Structure 1
Amino acid sequence: MTKNLFPLDSTKPFTEQAILGHNRWHGDIPPAVTVKPGDVFRADCREWFDGYIKNDDSAVDIASAPMSIVHALSGPFAIEGAEPGDLLIVDILDVGPIPSEEGPLAGQGWGYTGIFAKNNGGSFLVDQFPDAYKAVWDFEGGYATSRHVPEVRYAGITHPGLMGVAPSKDLLSTWNTREAALIATDPDRVPPLALPPEPQDAILGTLTGDDYDRVSKEGARTAPARENGGNQDIKNFTKGTRVFYPVYVKGANLSFGDLHFSQGDGEITFCGGIEMGGFLDLKVDLIKGGMDKYGVSENAIFQPGISGPQYSEWLAFSGTSVTLDGEQKYLDSDLAYQRACLHAIDYLTKFGYSPEQAYLLLGSAPIEGRLSGVVDIPNSCATVYLPTAMFEFDVTPSKNGLHAIDPGIGAPKADNP
């Protein structure tokens, strides 16, 4: 049995654990655990909202979810001998929900997907879906089903949405400066362009007093991906993955969390994966001087895992960089992917799904998103691929006519306050 170096008690909140993690990026957050190159270990992970979201038929919790508390990260893990300029090797040996537990926390036999409201983070399709919705998914034998999105069943590609190393003082300053400049271009935008440092609800490991006050005002939010890895939300970042991180501080200070039972490419609902708590089994090692040797200084690189469901049949939808009201944009790949997703959503409604049910499905299921054409002016072309095997009926166009699903109780909604 792999030794658990970061155990979490499911009966206690994240802030009351024997070993305290963190929810901000800063190089001065002390390591919670120290390991050696070559070590193999387990760590428990709490889902990103630390139990705030419930297994029920309401989306009020999604609408009111406090963004200031995320993400609940396990770590930092210091690696003996790691120095700035090295590459940290992390092997994901195993990942899964909370073992052998059923209960009120996501990961205890269930997880959830949320469409976040426009005034609380929004989503990839926020203008079309401005309100909060939720789907709860049950786990059984590696498959997910939902009372809120009926007649689908699929195997998840389980992975951590967030993993990264601590930034140096200079790198942290770069993040805060460039993101503040972006916010200043439209400071009242809803949803905001970026999230600045926020002392409220900051969890900073064992820091106290003046050090806590200073770091809470400087620490970067964990929402986006950055040079250190961070919240990349890559669905193929699963068991068998090997990732290489540039090291910016002594010890590297590796942290991780935001586990997903499954997720579609893009995590398009914002809370788009099936969020859960669980565990990671990791192995760490170092390449001394690897940043210069391999030219990996401002990005993580990785070898995707080899496990997960292997789908062979797909139904794909395309989109181009033309807005819904017909305005032509120049090679806007983001817009093209939005249009592809909207085309898929519209198609699924013909079988009886509500647009919100279809959107929640695209965010949580292992769909594939691709940039199919980025050079043919003026239109980028993006595509979204739906595995046909996840549906319990023939979802392809047929001369026999449409299958009509029973939408059941539907996806719970909470209106914007």
Structure 2
Amino acid sequence: MALVLPLAPLEPAARGVPGHDRWHPDIPAAAEVITGGSVRMDCPARAPGAEPVPCGPLVVVGAEPGDVIVVDVLGVGRADGRSARGGHPGLVGCAPDADTSCRAGVVPGGPAEGALPGRVAPGHPPYGRAAAEALRGGSRGRRIASCGIARLTAGSRILLPVHVRGAKLSVGDLHFPEPGAPDCRRASAPGWIDLRVNLTRQGVTRFRVTGPTLMPSPD
């Protein structure tokens, strides 16, 4: 019988973090989890026409580049606390490495206006670099998984290669489609997602996991 640790909600200070709409290794963690641990992440909604705003990043203690984290979706629900059987995130992933951010994330003309790099507030030394170098949603490539087709409902599993120390896992852009709906064209909505995280050492080499691997629930 598998041992499932009790869910550990984010600390109150972390729950108030508005999330981030850019991806960069310098974005500070909102909380941390040990391998085998479970966590509930509160996810905001995406404003119409805006970049998705995932919750996080979440540090996986002991994770190093070349490892793989195995993320199990335990449940998804609406902001009012109700579980939603068909609810799923629109994206999930680990922070990119600095070289990838520098190559693909720099926005011509300087820092992106209105960039929201988590806890890196304007005026703090890392803000200018994080805002300028961070990857936009459309530039994230295969390092961040888009879940619009593979609906990661409860019972799903995601394998994610680690690019930076601590992995810095983020997830969000929750959708709650109507039963039988063919896709997720409707706007995202605020809610929560429960995840269990396990760390696999050197999983990139051992299992040849070179990009996000999505394993939707068989149900």
TM-score (norm 2): 0.83
Note the C-alpha offset of 1:225: 5.5
One-letter amino acid of the structure 1 residue matched with residue 182 of structure 2:
G
**Aligned length, in residue pairs:** 209
Note the C-alpha offset of 1:161: 0.5
2:3 matched residue in structure 1: none
Distance in 1 of aligned mates of 2:116 and 2:131:
8
Once the two structures are aligned, what percentage of the paired residues are identical? 33
One-letter amino acid of the structure 2 residue matched with residue 202 of structure 1:
A
Note the C-alpha offset of 1:73: 1.6
Note the C-alpha offset of 1:233: 1.9
Partner of 1:227: helix, strand, or coil? helix
Note the C-alpha offset of 1:231: 3.3
Please say if residues 92 and 172 of structure 2, whose CA atoms lie closer than 8 Å, have aligned partners that are also in contact: yes
Matched, 1:164 2:164: no
Counterparts in 2 of 1:240 and 1:246: CA distance versus 1, 3 Å: same
1:256 matched residue in structure 2: 171
1:306 matched residue in structure 2: 218
Distance in 1 of aligned mates of 2:147 and 2:110:
19
1:229 matched residue in structure 2: 144
Distance in 2 of aligned mates of 1:3 and 1:197:
39
Counterparts in 2 of 1:19 and 1:236: CA distance versus 1, 3 Å: closer
Matched, 1:41 2:46: no
Please say if residues 71 and 223 of structure 1, whose CA atoms lie closer than 8 Å, have aligned partners that are also in contact: no
Note the C-alpha offset of 1:279: 0.5
Note the C-alpha offset of 1:224: 5.7
Distance in 1 of aligned mates of 2:216 and 2:104:
27
User: Of the candidates 292, 295, 314, which is equivalent to residue 208 of structure 2?
Assistant: 295
Larger radius of gyration: 1
Distance in 2 of aligned mates of 1:82 and 1:76:
13
Distance in 1 of aligned mates of 2:66 and 2:193:
26
One-letter amino acid of the structure 2 residue matched with residue 212 of structure 1:
Y
Matched, 1:200 2:198: no
Partner of 1:173: helix, strand, or coil? helix
Distance in 1 of aligned mates of 2:137 and 2:111:
11
One-letter amino acid of the structure 1 residue matched with residue 90 of structure 2:
G
Q: Does 1 or 2 have the higher relative contact order (CA < 8 Å, sep 6+)?
A: 2
TM-score (norm 1): 0.46
1:277 matched residue in structure 2: 190
User: Of the candidates 67, 88, 94, which is equivalent to residue 86 of structure 1?
Assistant: 67
Counterparts in 2 of 1:46 and 1:6: CA distance versus 1, 3 Å: farther
Partner of 2:174: helix, strand, or coil? strand
Distance in 2 of aligned mates of 1:273 and 1:228:
25
List per-residue Cα deviations over 1:255-303 (Å, max 9, x = no partner): 01100102634x5xxxx14521111000001110000111112x11122
2:104 matched residue in structure 1: 175
The root-mean-square deviation of aligned C-alpha atoms, in Å, is 2.8
Counterparts in 2 of 1:199 and 1:96: CA distance versus 1, 3 Å: same
